[in-house]
Amino acid sequence: MERKITGRTPDSLFLNFERISAIPRPSYHEEKIAAFLENFAKERGFFVVRDEAKNVFVRVPATPGMENVPPILLQAHTDMVCEKDAGVEHDFLKDGIDLVVDGNYLRANGTTLGADDGIGVALAMTVMDGEIKRHPVVECLFTSSEEVGLGGVCEFDFSLVTARRMLNLDNSDLGIITAGSCGGVRSDITFSATREDKTRPALKLTFSGFAGGHSGENIHEGRANAIRAMGLLLQSLSELPGFRIASVDGGGKTNAIPRGCVAVIGVDDPGAAEDQANAFGERYLATLLPIDKGASLTVETAEDELCFTKEDTSRLLSLLCEPRIGVLKMSENVEGLVEWSQNLGIVKTEGEKVSVMLSSRSAIKEQLDANEKELSALAAKNGADVKFHNRYTGWEYAPKSDVRDRYLDAYKKVLGKDAVVNVIHAGLECGEIYGKIPEMDMISIAPTIKDLHSPTERLDLDSAEAFWKTLVAFFEGL
């Protein structure tokens, strides 16, 4: 293998990252990386288990004199988000990542890099390689399908884990220690709509250019939701003679604030409807924050359409306009933290089937339960079905944490400054682990990675070296 990353310390950390970058590992397709990690552990004589969910668990014995020190768990996920630039030929099921050293950064050639969470996997492998000379029993958990709903960690048998201290290696900023995260649940509301037996004059309405963003990290910033905007527009037109909906389609992921939405409607007087829609759009767009200044509304004449009945049009309007979305509650304990939120992420029309999909977030079980009850009632009122899935557990902030204090000390010793401790309104595997082992004392840490989940993703190589030094100091402190 031709090395791309040279002159960095420890060399084995960057060698390990290059090794796993050569292995295809999209979500749901982690069999090759799981087999590689299993063999990596077996070659070194360590206890290893690979389960049916493609999780890999390794136990590394303590070094002499450290046998009585409590064990520690290192945890990272093996799958990566697979995105590429237009025109780039790359098969994520077959091709490894083409690494490029660009100054102080490591990036990929036109694709996502996979440092999320390949660098975490490589860090744990480097500990397994013996680069830390004195350590207690180290358990390593490599989980699958994290990027698509934390699937792997939910299937893992945690009776294997003896450690009650843990470092999650799935963060993105060297200077930030995460000490809490939210839970969540996804909700799919669907119903079968009936179309009328005659066509109506039609208009195509398109909201586009909204900023969008992550439904956890950006939900408190007041960014507009294009699907809700469309619901409000349609509601404003609903009293026009002959108003019916033919289709509504918007959003791409339940955990992303939608950037656009398209609706086709039927009306008796398209000209009057066009004027009213444009007037609404002008008023609505004027209320948006600067982050959404690129948003626009386009109104076009369309071919006559077979539309939903008046009753089914009303059902769809209810599902678009009635769910509570955005920030539902701010934390009373952590300043500036969103405690509870809900995002309307996708609306989709497929023939006579209409689907509305939402993502709810909170670290508090009762709040997620409340979301499920509200959406169940809304679905029942509209004769729709609702399915709740991919529910995961929140990780509540612990006022006292020995692991957190020790890592803060190590960070200051190495870098000469304090790290920042935060709690995030996004999901981490820590939440599921907390749900299985509530006494686990843990933090989430990592080197600095920029533009995660995009082809401009890049790893700060200096931060990776500094992170390793901090990790060594942390183990010395044990």
Distance CA 177, CA 171 (A): 8
pLDDT at 86: 87
Average pLDDT over residues 409-435: 94
Q: How many CA atoms lie within 13 A of 15 on its CB side?
A: 11
**Looking at 79, 292, 339, 429, which residue is catalytic?**
79
247: nearest Cα among 369, 353, 134? 353
Q: Is the pLDDT of residue 1 over 90?
A: no
Cα–Cα dist 339/343, whole Å: 14
Task: Please give the Cα distance from 468 to 472 (Å, whole number).
Answer: 6
What is the pLDDT of the chain when averaged over all its residues? 96
Rounded mean pLDDT, 6-16 = 97
Residue 106 contacts by C-beta under 8 Å, 6 or more apart in sequence?
A: 4, 5, 99, 100, 113, 115, 458, 459, 461
The answer to whether residue 173 scores a pLDDT higher than 90 is yes
Q: Is the CATH code 3.30.70.360 the one for domain 185-392? A: yes
CB environment 367-378: b (16+ within 10 A), e (fewer)? bbebbeebbeeb
pLDDT of residue 332: 87
* Cα–Cα distance, 131 to 121 (Å, whole number): 15
Kindly report the number of other CB atoms within 10 A of residue 341's CB atom. 25
CA distance 465 to 471: 10
Quick: pLDDT tens for 54-80: 999 999 999 999 999 999 999 999 999
| pLDDT above 90 (res 427) | no
**pLDDT, position 288:** 98
Asked whether residue 252 carries a pLDDT value surpassing 90, the answer given is no
- Residues 352-379 have a mean pLDDT of 96
pLDDT score of 396: 85
Is the per-residue pLDDT at 296 higher than 90? Answer: yes
Question: 255 or 162: whose pLDDT is higher?
Answer: 162
Options 116, 146, 305, 429, the catalytic residue: 146
Q: Which residues contact 72 (CB under 8 A, 6 or more apart)?
A: 135, 136, 137, 138, 139, 163, 165, 166, 167, 478
One-letter identity of residue 102: D
Mean of the pLDDT values across residues 166-188? 95
* Boundaries of every domain in the chain: 11-181+395-477, 185-392
> Is pLDDT at 217 greater than 90 in this prediction?
no
Please tell me whether the overall predicted TM-score, pTM, comes out greater than 0.75 for this model. Answer: yes
Backbone angles phi, psi at 246, to 5 degrees: -100, -35
Give residue 388's pLDDT.
97
Q: How much is the pLDDT for 33? A: 98
Mean pLDDT to the nearest integer, 336-354? 96
Dihedral angle of Cα 411, 413, 414, 415, to the nearest 10 degrees: 70
d(C-alpha 334, C-alpha 321), whole Å: 31
Would you call 79 a catalytic residue per the annotation? yes
User: Does the structure show a pLDDT above 90 at 373?
Assistant: yes
Domain 11-181+395-477 has CATH 2.60.40.790: no
* pLDDT at res. 190: 98
Q: What is the pLDDT of residue 216?
A: 87
Query: What is the tens place of the pLDDT at every residue in 98-126?
Result: 999 999 999 999 999 999 999 999 999 99
- pLDDT classification of 268: cutoffs 50, 70, 90: very high
Give the span between the Cα atoms of 255 and 146, in whole angstroms. Answer: 14
What distance in Å separates the CA atoms of residue 207 and residue 2, rounded to the nearest whole number? Answer: 48
